[in-house]
Amino acid sequence: MKHIVIIGGGIAGIETASALTDAGHWVTVIEKEAQVGGKLNNWSCLFPTFTPAEKIIGELQGKCRNKDFSILNKTEVRTIHRQKGKFSIATSNHQKLEADAIVVATGYELFDARRKEEYGYKIYDHVITSADLEELLKPGNDITVAEGKHPKRIAFVHCVGSRDEKSGNHYCSKVCCITGVKQAIELKKRLPEAEIFCFYMDLRMYGKHFEELYREAQEKYDIQFIRGRLSEASEKIDKSLLIKSEDTLSGRPLKMNVDLLVLLAGMEAGKGTAATAVICGIGCEESGFLKTTDSFLKSNFSEQEGIFLAGSCTAPMSVNDTILHARSAAMEVNLWLKNH
């Protein structure tokens, strides 16, 4: 029986583990956190269907329980050495593992919105990120601003840390546009009296049902989409926020007061993925995401034979795309092991 070690127990890691176990392999997942599921644990519900994230987490946990693969929680990889066609892996908990193949599924990190200093995240009381809002949107949480009141006017800022030369991220994080649409609708459902504005550069509704949801946001929920980036946000004496932008379609500068400002934070490869790349001796793109040997036919292959890639450690991805990429990684590993 071949042994495969998967680094990362998020959606990609667990899905790959599940598929490889089904294919008859012995699989060990190394996860740095106490629980599997990665960032998905932080989300309320998923676009475009408003599927509760808990449902997907439940499915993943079910696979962990019911399938015969092992998970080393609170564990990180320290070193990897290749010896006679096998990988020798040492962990932070002093375990020694031997593997025939490795799958890197270290996921992504959210862009630290503090780096966009002009928006005042972690300085102004009512500037939050899309991740913070997901927490607020979980059942039982009330969404309030100054003096415990419900926000009457809310703005979303798209592309925070994405497609932005200043923050050093030239790429599109892909999921923020539809996340903004989904969250705006959720807020409107919870706070029907609120006015909601989305400030965007382009709206990239690339996925199934995305465009329809965007249309619904405008027609059914009266969410306003303004093409323009914010230049700055400032806090007023009543803790509301003054935001400045330009409506580039009307060609006019725009100034607006809002009670809540939501920053749609993009994805970054993160330090964990960078460290794993060094340990594995594999390369990164200029964006920091892991380099695949061919973006068409070998999107799961790293530069090192026997080390495979799965999920958003290679590029920003939705939950859906991550699951598909993980399954394709499992197929590639399985095929490669048969030939080696």
Partner 1 sequence: MNKEGKIQVWQDYQKEIADDRYFYVRSCIRQNFFPGAEQTFLKILRSELGKDIYENPHHTTCSGIGYHSDIVPFDTIQTIVARQFALMTEAGYQNLAVSCITSFGIYNEIIETWKEHPAELEKVRNYLKSATGRKFEIPQNVAHAGDIIYKFRENIAARKKFSLINQQTGKPLKFVEHIGCHYSKMFPSKGVGGAEFPYVLVGMIESWGGEVIDYPERRHCCGFGFRQYLVMSNRGYSVSNSRKKFESMEPYKPDAIVSNCPGCPMFMDRWQYVIEEMEGKTYGENGQGIPVLTYEELAGLVLGYNPWDMGMQMHQTNVEPLLNKMGIPYNPDLKYATKEGRQIGKPTMVSCGC
Residue placing its CB nearer to partner 1 in the complex, 98 or 117:
117
CB atoms within 10 A of CB 219: 9
Give the one residue of 50, 74, 95, 123 binding partner 1; rule: CB under 8 A: 123
Q: Does 246 bind partner 1 (CB under 8 A)?
A: no
Residue placing its CB nearer to partner 1 in the complex, 122 or 298:
122
Q: H or E segment at 29?
A: strand 26-30
To partner 1, the closest distance from the beta carbon of 124 in angstroms equals 7
Strand bridging mode 195-200 / 224-227: parallel
- Here the tokens at position 120 are 């005042």
Q: Does 222 bind partner 1 (CB under 8 A)?
A: no
- Here the tokens at position 295 are 């973006």
Q: Does 232 bind partner 1 (CB under 8 A)?
A: yes
d(CA 317, CA 179): 12
3-state secondary structure of 120: coil
d(CA 35, CA 161): 28
What's at 180, amino acid-wise?
A: G
Contacts 24+ apart (CB under 8 A), 275-283: 276/7, 276/77, 276/104, 276/106, 276/313, 277/104, 279/77, 279/78, 279/79, 279/80, 280/80, 280/102, 280/104, 280/304, 280/307, 281/80, 282/104, 282/307
Looking at 42-50, 123-131, 187-195, 272-280, which segment touches partner 1 (CB under 8 A)? 123-131
Question: Of 155-214, which residues contact partner 1 (CB under 8 A)?
Answer: none
To partner 1, the closest distance from the beta carbon of 227 in angstroms equals 23
Give the one residue of 55, 74, 78, 122 binding partner 1; rule: CB under 8 A: 122
Give the one residue of 98, 118, 135, 247 binding partner 1; rule: CB under 8 A: 118
Q: Does 125 bind partner 1 (CB under 8 A)?
A: yes
Residue 133 buriedness (CB in 10 A; 0-12 / 13-18 / 19+): buried
Looking at 75-83, 118-126, 146-154, 324-332, which segment touches partner 1 (CB under 8 A)? 118-126
Strand bridging mode 86-91 / 96-99: antiparallel
Residue placing its CB nearer to partner 1 in the complex, 34 or 237:
237
End-to-end CA gap in the chain? 13
d(CA 106, CA 213): 30
To partner 1, the closest distance from the beta carbon of 64 in angstroms equals 37
Q: Does 252 bind partner 1 (CB under 8 A)?
A: no
Give the one residue of 236, 252, 271, 298 binding partner 1; rule: CB under 8 A: 236
To partner 1, the closest distance from the beta carbon of 169 in angstroms equals 17
Whether the bond between 48 and the residue before it is cis, its omega within 30 degrees of 0, is yes
Number of amino acids touching partner 1 (CB under 8 A): 15
Give the one residue of 121, 156, 197, 289 binding partner 1; rule: CB under 8 A: 121
To partner 1, the closest distance from the beta carbon of 208 in angstroms equals 39
Residue placing its CB nearer to partner 1 in the complex, 49 or 234:
234
Give the one residue of 120, 180, 266, 311 binding partner 1; rule: CB under 8 A: 120
Give the one residue of 235, 246, 303, 321 binding partner 1; rule: CB under 8 A: 235
Residue placing its CB nearer to partner 1 in the complex, 237 or 278:
237
- Here the tokens at position 175 are 């999921």
Residue placing its CB nearer to partner 1 in the complex, 256 or 279:
256
Query: Quick one: which of 33, 38, 28, 24 has its CA closest to 103?
Result: 28
Which residues sit at the interface with partner 1, rule CB under 8 A?
114, 117-118, 120-125, 232, 234-237, 242
